[in-house]
A = this chain, B = another copy of it.
Amino acid sequence: MIIVTKPGIQEAELDHIRERVESLGLRTHVSRGEQRTIVGCIGDEERLQELPLLSMAGVEQVLPVLKPYKLAAREFSAGPTLVRVGGAEIGGSELAVIAGPCSVEGREMLRETAFAVQDAGARLLRGGAFKPRTSPYSFRGLGEQALELLAEVRRESGLPVVTEVMDTRQVDIVAQYADMLQIGARNMQNFALLSEVGRLHRPVLLKRGMSATVLDLLLAAEYIMAQGNMNVVLCERGIRTFETATRNTFDLAAIPVLKRETHLPVIADPSHAGGRRELVAPLAYAAVAAGADGLMVEVHPNPEQALSDGDQSLSLAEFESMMRVVGELAGVVGRRLPATAAVAA
């Protein structure tokens, strides 16, 4: 932490600042420039976090030097983390594509979708059981019945299952059925929920909040990891900006930025980022070209009949067609789709 003082700070004010910092066990180092005096604080920066430095007389700016996350930081791990979910692996040379309906609406639509996306190269099945909806009057999912259907289709297809958990009280029941627990964008800073999924050792798919910076996302991952669960996959899904031509603004650059900052895998959700069916493929292509470790895509056998997110769901044929291009682009940047898919394609 570096403390920049105001011009004309008095010695007593400077002494007071140093005393407060040193009382927390850090050392200070004063450097007098032509216009500003600077106090460097050496030691455990975290202890300074609670100190209201800006409220002390004579302080102009406080500049943190260290990153506030540790377990999620690149340096923490010798290499990139591979997260294993059932038989699938996220973060390796094989692109991990998670696909399926926004909501599980019934057995048949789920089975049909699962086998089709698997044939096209997806390695994991998504499907909403508990749905967060902006309006209290919207369809909110089939709940536990959907979890049972997901487990059933997993048995048949072998596809590991990813589904969202929205409430600390649901964590246990969801974990009984799902291979990977998803934390949605609106719950990215639901700290109670983050801690709760951290206590399990089930892989977690953590979606970036609509107003979360890359730093906030890494701190949310840190919450989970601080409980001992290192199996966290980050997901860029668009942020909220002034642009209204798309549902959210897909922050493509977050993918390479995150790949540099953390050892955790990073995937992209082109369905929510664009919010319109015709944008899903170009956004997916971009994410793969920029180095994403995988994709999460909403697919429905009949998007026009979908009970939620029909506007942004791909049909089975559209998904299959997109995956052909995804596979080719992956090849250019040193990745590949699963072998079976390559054959299918």
Interface residues of A (CB under 8 A from B): 2, 4, 7, 20, 29, 31, 33-36, 38, 40, 42-43, 46, 49-56, 61, 63, 65-66, 68-69, 75, 132-139, 166-170, 186-187, 189-193, 195, 209-211, 213-216, 219, 222-223, 226, 239-246, 249-257, 260, 273-274, 276-279, 282-283, 285-291, 303-304, 306-311, 313, 325, 328-329, 332-333
Contact (Cβ within 8 A) A251 B253: no
- Tell me whether A211 and B240 are in contact in the complex, defined as CB-CB below 8 angstroms, given that A256-B278, A311-B54 are known contacts: yes
* Residues of the B chain whose Cβ atoms lie less than 8 Å from the Cβ of A29: 31
* Residues of the B chain whose Cβ atoms lie less than 8 Å from the Cβ of A277: 55
CA gap between A169 and B253 in the complex, in Å: 37
Contact (Cβ within 8 A) A253 B250: yes
Contact (Cβ within 8 A) B52 A252: no
CA gap between A153 and B225 in the complex, in Å: 38
Complex copy number for this chain: 4
| Cross-chain contact of A328 among B75, B187, B285, B332 (Cβ < 8 A) | B332
Contact (Cβ within 8 A) A249 B253: yes
CA gap between A67 and B169 in the complex, in Å: 32
- What's the least CB distance linking A184 to chain B, in Å? 9
* Residues of the B chain whose Cβ atoms lie less than 8 Å from the Cβ of A250: 251-253
- Tell me whether A242 and B211 are in contact in the complex, defined as CB-CB below 8 angstroms, given that A282-B256, A289-B286 are known contacts: yes
CA gap between A308 and B191 in the complex, in Å: 17
Query: Could you tell me the dominant secondary structure of chain A's interface residues?
Result: mixed
Contact (Cβ within 8 A) A251 B256: no
Contact (Cβ within 8 A) A136 B222: yes
Contact (Cβ within 8 A) A246 B240: no
CA gap between A246 and B51 in the complex, in Å: 18
* Residues of the B chain whose Cβ atoms lie less than 8 Å from the Cβ of A136: 191, 195, 219, 222-223, 226
- What's the least CB distance linking A188 to chain B, in Å? 8
* Residues of the B chain whose Cβ atoms lie less than 8 Å from the Cβ of A287: 286
Contact (Cβ within 8 A) B134 A189: yes
Contact (Cβ within 8 A) B49 A138: yes
Contact (Cβ within 8 A) A38 B40: yes
The residue among A250, A253, A282, A310 with the most chain B CB atoms within 10 A of its own CB is A253
Contact (Cβ within 8 A) B65 A38: yes
CA gap between A282 and B257 in the complex, in Å: 10
Contact (Cβ within 8 A) A249 B245: no
CA gap between A222 and B283 in the complex, in Å: 27
* Residues of the B chain whose Cβ atoms lie less than 8 Å from the Cβ of A216: 134
Please list the 4 inter-chain residue pairs (A to B) with the smallest Cβ-Cβ separation, ordered nearest first. A52-B310, A211-B211, A286-B286, A167-B192
- What's the least CB distance linking A306 to chain B, in Å? 6
Contact (Cβ within 8 A) B304 A52: yes
